[in-house]
A and B are shown apart, each in its own frame.
Chain A
Amino acid sequence: MDRLSAFEIITGVLAQFTPVWIGLAVIFTISYVYRERLALYGKLFDSTIGIIGLVLVLFWVLTALMADWIITFDPLDQISGMKNKKPGWPVRGQEGMHYLLGGDNLARDVFSRMVMGSRTVLVIAPAATIFAFMVGITLGLLAGYKGGKSDTALTFLANMVLAFPVILLFFLLVTPEIRSTGVPLYLAGVLFLFPIIFFLLLFWSRFEGQGTKLYVSLGLTLGLGLWAYSGLAFNADPTGVFYMDPNLLNIFVSVVFVNSPTVFRIVRGLTADIQTRDYVAAAQTRGEKSWYILLWEILPNARGPLIVDFCLRIGYTTILLGTLGFFGLGVSPESADWGMTINEGRKLLALYPHLALPPALALMSLVLGLNLLADGLREESLKD
């Protein structure tokens, strides 16, 4: 059996991604047909940059979803004789099978590890960003609208976290030792409360005085929220549906903690700007409560910049996760986390570049996709 040529490697990799290509084709055909009705998302089709970004992002989302069909080997399987083998190397004893992108220093398949690695990133990065947004939006609205002491205090806190060198914070927060002290747990206990608070305020301000609607929405929020909360933050979900690995929780909390102040600052600025508009004054003169004005009058008008920042922030979070992995603080030692793979590969970079290069390029293309998408969205939302 021969080693595959460069051309064969490329076609081989492309062929492995067949489910993704089909998925992309379906999504784009449908979106293009209905683009008139899809508001901002539909308008994205007018922007070349935005479309390229969307393709890249969707590519990785679909890859993460269908990773099981794409991989060629179990990403944890070590096959003897495949250690540090070059891309396209045939697998001994398995006729017609190759390590498409070579083997790593533990003789695992680099290609399959790269594909599987997308899952870690595409679950943690968006989820952590959503939590950061919940914290940042709730506090940012409050500070931007009310001003005064709460604003001063919150802004001071936010600036303090921002002045904290990220790398130092990670080294202090994401260590196995810190878990035994309970610090991440307390942080999670506070940070994970915000989504519940946010939705309670959202429904309460809208449906206050409307009987059933109010009770149903509040009841559902509290029920679902506290259920997930108990599981995620304290691993106390009796049904076991919501659960987070302690090390993962640690990383998750740190990433949310680092991102929240920036979101806070953006929302605070937007709020301070939007609240000077006359429609806010109109809401005040008809006797609306503060939280109604914040969540139903101001927040919807901040959505443009926030959506753009959301995309950018997922990208930034992806980079942060990579940084963590790079310093050996990743999700778990044997996971296929991109950052950790780069870290393992970098030591042998001069000799075996194929170890670190695939995850590095994968990470870059995902972040690039998100940034391009954000740029396209910004451009299109400005056209209104």
Chain B
Amino acid sequence: MLNFLLRRSGVMLLTALSLTFVVFFLTNLEPNLEKLTKTEGNMRMTDQQVNSWLERNGYRQPLIKRYGEWLGVAPGWTRVDEDGRERGRCVAPGGTIAESPRFCGVLQGNWGQSFVFKEPVLDVIGRKLALTGWLMLCVMLVMVPTALVLGILAGMREGSRTDRTLSTLSIITTSTPEYVSGVILIVVFASRMGGLRWFNGTAASAMDNITFWNFTLPVMALALYGLGYIARMTRASMSEVMTEQYIRTARLKGLSFSAVVLKHALRNALIAPFTVIMLQIPWLLTGVAIVETLFNYKGFGWTLVAAAQNNDIELLMGASVVAVVVVLITQLISDIGYVFLNPRISVA
């Protein structure tokens, strides 16, 4: 088990490094740097001026070196200007090179400064993650139990009327991406046209105070899309298990149908959906971005979109790191959970 964990973690680390490097490469493409320079300086800078600004601020070093600096494994660049001012990646304005630390990257907790929010990236991300955390929590609480129950009810008796109805419902929700379900929900429950106006069409107020009225619609929009998918997985797994010989054994032992389902089918049927649920979390990220934008809930997804649209490189890098790490950790949990749920698999 330990060996397996080590190996998996190794692969994870490698993936994380490769992915962040790709993001680093893509965010630091020439046009982005140019845009950055002009927002820092002024819009009418000549190409030459742009170039020299980039030169002076360490952007003209080899990409791999800069990635190392950003990560905190390569020493930050330093420079003494013509006027004798000492500057560098790790040098605070007015500080000296000698006093400053040599390394200052992600590993040292230095995630840079956000242009848009005018504060350290780490603070922005921390705050936004908390907001999104609440949203995800509610979504999971609604989505997972509903999906599992629907899937099990449908898969319990394959081909029955319940099965057909529930399966069709699941297909409908998987065909409704968040931006469609969001629009429909708002129109029906929060607009004049729908006439119901039960809920708020925006979740902006939920950032301070989550209520049933301002949070229901975004949670529903997010949960619906994933719900059908998990329910279908559960159904497939359940109906397969129900045809197994050991289910017949249990039935012919004299167990009632409900006991057969609860004691013998359930655990085996939940192994496959577990993996799906865990892998759903990173997949939800796109949905989160959509829903947060649609409902104006300024959480992590919204921040990612804002950072990308405003060329806020440091913030985008920070958000990417978080996103990638979340994805990889859920994958690891899904692997480990699979092993624990399934006694047949022993990890050598």
Residues of chain A having any CB pair with chain B under 8 Å: 49, 156, 159-160, 163-168, 171-173, 177-178, 180-181, 183, 315, 319, 322-323, 326-328, 339, 342-343, 345-346, 349-351, 353-354, 356-357, 360-361, 363-364, 367-368, 370-372, 375
Contacts and interface: CB of A to CB of B under 8 A. Distances in A.
A156 B17 CA distance: 13
A171 B18 contact: no
Given A350-B190, A353-B193, A168 B172 contact: no
Given A163-B15, A163-B327, A349-B186, A315 B175 contact: yes
Interface in B286-342: 286, 289-290, 293-294, 301, 304-305, 308-309, 316, 319-320, 323-324, 327-328, 331
B194 interface: yes
Given A168-B323, A178-B26, A360-B184, A49 B168 contact: yes
Given A160-B15, A326-B179, A165 B323 contact: yes
Instruction: Pick the 10 closest A-B CB pairs, nearest first.
Output: A177-B31, A171-B308, A368-B175, A172-B26, A353-B187, A367-B175, A167-B286, A360-B180, A319-B177, A165-B323
Interface centre among A156, A183, A346, A349 (most CB of B within 10 A): A349
Contact of B282 (A165, A315, A349, A367): A165
Nearest to A365: B175
Given A168-B319, A343-B179, A356-B187, 8 more contacts: A49-B168, A160-B19, A163-B324, A163-B328, A183-B26, A350-B186, A353-B191, A360-B180
Interface string B14-38: 1100110011001101111001000
Contact of A177 (B35, B174, B323): B35
Nearest to A179: B31
Nearest to B283: A166
> Does more than half of chain B's interface fall in helix, strand or loop, or is it mixed?
helix
Contacts of B289: 167, 327
B171 A360 contact: no
B183 interface: yes
B220 to A, nearest CB: 15
Interface in B140-157: none
Contacts of B175: 315, 364, 367-368, 370-371
Contact of A357 (B22, B187, B290, B294): B187
> Does more than half of chain A's interface fall in helix, strand or loop, or is it mixed?
helix
Contacts of A353: 183, 186-187, 191, 193-194
A323 B286 contact: yes
A326 B192 CA distance: 23
A116 to B, nearest CB: 19
Contacts of A345: 183
A349 B296 CA distance: 13
Nearest to B197: A350
A371 B289 CA distance: 24
Contacts of A372: 171
Contacts of A339: 179
A345 B179 CA distance: 11
B176 interface: yes
A356 B294 CA distance: 12
B180 A156 contact: no
21 contacts: A163-B328, A167-B301, A168-B323, A172-B308, A173-B26, A177-B29, A326-B179, A326-B290, A327-B289, A328-B309, A339-B179, A342-B183, A346-B182, A350-B201, A353-B191, A353-B193, A364-B175, A364-B177, A367-B177, A368-B176, A372-B171
